[in-house]
Amino acid sequence: MDSWYDYRALLACDIAGSAGRGETRLQAIRSALRSALCASFGVADLDEQSFVRIDTGDGFHFVAPAGLPKARLLYPLLPELCARIRAHNRQATPDVHLRVRVAVHAGEIRFDSAGTFSGSPFEALARLLDSDPLRQAVRAGTSGTPVAAVLSQHFYEETVGHGYEGLEADAFTAADVRVKEYSAQAWLWYPGSPVGPRIDPGPSAVSDRRPPDPEPRGAGQHVRASGHGTAYAVQHGTQNIHHHERG
């Protein structure tokens, strides 16, 4: 078989305001985000090694393993990530403070025998991450929001309001996403919502709460998104990404 399609959940994150900080500070905030992600995956009982991780320079994209329930990319992962970045910001100097945008989506992506994967879900994910509603959400508050996330309509319908722990519908706000040729309804999650981050008064934020184990979704679902997919090569743990110009 030369190529095949498989349904996967996708998560992307990037650092708001990373440009112009200089190489030393950029590497410091990249390291802080990487550390917060690693710890948050652990608390959420997610095996990060089972994900494909793509380094985008100012953030990361993750392709979840086949069969992973999508709800597990939301709770407790997002509240935990937010709490850890808030803890970092309490201790760090202002020039290395973090504000992080997150986008989540799912759909059928194309794999081939060379280890390359592509498809329109990656384009939709990129548009969600670059959307104005998400950019505005991460700037909310007097010092910005540690983490603001946007869910595609498909991802929202498959996860929120189905009784999974921490995913009450009133924690999410509807938003219209219009980026270039992409136009869709999406849903914002932000701190201060009913399932917002646990703000720990101590220097670190650690939680032992774990997510429920909802039934995994099967393959065979399609998500429509405008634009062309982006191809990635994955071999022996190394991921290469072909960047598009951002508008």
For the chain, what are the domain ranges? Answer: 3-241
Span 43-60, pLDDT tens digits: 999 999 999 999 998 899
Angstrom distance (rounded) from CA 118 to CA 21: 32
Amino acid at 188: L
Q: The whole model's pTM is what?
A: 0.77
Please say whether the dihedral angle defined by the alpha carbons of residues 100, 137, 205 and 46, taken in this order, is positive or negative: negative
Name residue 63's beta-bridge partners: 10, 52
Residue 22, SS3? coil
Which of 20-29, 62-71, 123-132 comes out lowest in average pLDDT? 20-29
Query: What span, in angstroms and rounded, lies between the C-alpha atoms of 52 and 71?
Result: 18
Q: How many CA atoms lie within 13 A of 92 on its CB side?
A: 19
Specify the pLDDT at position 234.
38
Task: Name the packing angle between helices 77-91 and 23-43 (round to 10°).
Answer: 140
pLDDT digit string, tens, across residues 156-213: 999 998 999 889 888 899 999 998 888 899 999 987 653 433 334 334 333 433 344 3
Question: What was the pLDDT predicted at 245?
Answer: 39
Structure token pair of residue 10: 């996708």
Please say whether the beta carbons of 126 and 10 come within 8 A.
Answer: no
What's residue 202's pLDDT?
39
Q: What is the largest CA-CA distance in the chain?
A: 54
CATH architecture of 3-241: 2-Layer Sandwich (3.30)
* Confidence grade of residue 219 (pLDDT, cut at 50, 70, 90): very low
Can you give the pLDDT at residue 217? 35
Q: Is the dihedral of CA 171, 175, 179, 181 positive or negative?
A: positive
Residue 242 — pLDDT band, cuts 50, 70, 90? very low
Which of the four pLDDT bands, split at 50, 70 and 90, describes residue 13? very high
Section 220-229 average pLDDT = 34
